[in-house]
Amino acid sequence: DFFLRLEILRKLDKNRGCVNTVSFNADGNILVSASDDKQITLGQGNWGCQAYFPIRFDMLKSWRVVLKLGWWPNIKGELINWLLNQEALIYFTLVGYMPVIALNAIAIDPRNPNLFAVAGSDEYTRLYDVRKYKWDGSTDFGQPTDYFCPSHLIGDDQVGITGLAFSDQSELLVSYNDEFIYLFTQDMGLGPNPVPSSPLSACSEPSEMGLDHSAMPASAMEADEKAIPQVYKGHRNCETVKGVSFFGPKSEYVVSGSDCGRIFIWKKKGGQLVRVMEADKHVVNCIESHPHTTVLASSGIERDFKIWTPKAIDKATLPTNIEQDLMLQLFSLQRRGTSPEQNEENASAVDRKLLEFILTFNANSGASSDDGGNGPEDPFC
């Protein structure tokens, strides 16, 4: 129950702007951060106490802002895995039928550093193997070895991906804007050549849309036949780019920030929401787990980043207004039609979804009252 005892150990305010990214090195004794002040801060500390020694250096004066940075796996002292900035957006050009997309996230598989995943302004996460990268311009030059996407999002041009993370077991977390977080295992990939598809209705399963599977794109049918990825719900990822991370000694938990300024923690297995923590007055964008201990670093719109450790005497409980945030997310999710006509057509489906959610929550709340006041059952699992 360590996640129920997490509290802020220290607020670190050495940056002079919104903190966009934080990252621990492989040993976990150094934390690097970057913010809108165009400075990178390296800090060495003992995360079990208040000791923290920041070192600031300005290595990116010509860049307006640093949005992402990290450490190359298994190479000590190799800082910087990737950098993105607002002036010189990095675009990932895909050979073939796919268009150019803006790149939002990169993650390297810790079990096999030859594999890395990239994602951005469309629905797919693309997995690459550097051993297959050809410099001579041959046919498989720069081609992904696998694609990942929930079946109901294939062909949805309204979604994008804001965060990626690999676990030590090579599981892949994918966080979608205006949608949810999904957990993929290696066997859930769509293969190296998913078939382009026409857009499906956002957030609607094929069975709900009355579609015949025989008329569905091949990639969607193949995705349906594979194991369904675990989904994590409750947070809101609409306003800014949100990261996602595994948490716990064996990556037993999933953690993300939210537009409501809170940190959300779910059980990896089953997707049950187990903890919500106030972390920023505005938005929590970045969450980073310590590689060896139960320590979290978080940052958002405020000009500091926070270190969280399981030191609280009393166990925390879930807030009672989480369902309101989910309803707001459902509104955003269901209303993002591309035209007024589509919005009008989807209105009845929106109302039905919200009604089902409210009835489910009320039923769960009533059942919990009969159980002797042990708190509401989790409506998200």
pLDDT in tens, 46-71: 655 444 444 444 444 434 445 455 54
- Report pLDDT for 101: 77
* Distance (Å) of CA 6 to CA 18, 185, 306: 23, 28, 12
- pTM greater than the 0.75 cutoff: no
CA nearest neighbour of 254 among 184, 301, 302: 184
Residue numbers of the chain with a pLDDT score lower than 70: 14-15, 45-99, 133-142, 195-226, 320-381
- What's the pLDDT score for residue 245? 94
- pLDDT, one tens digit per residue, over 182-194 is 999 999 999 988 8
Quote the pLDDT of residue 204: 39
- Predicted confidence at residue 222, as pLDDT, reads 54
pLDDT at residue 303, as a whole number: 79
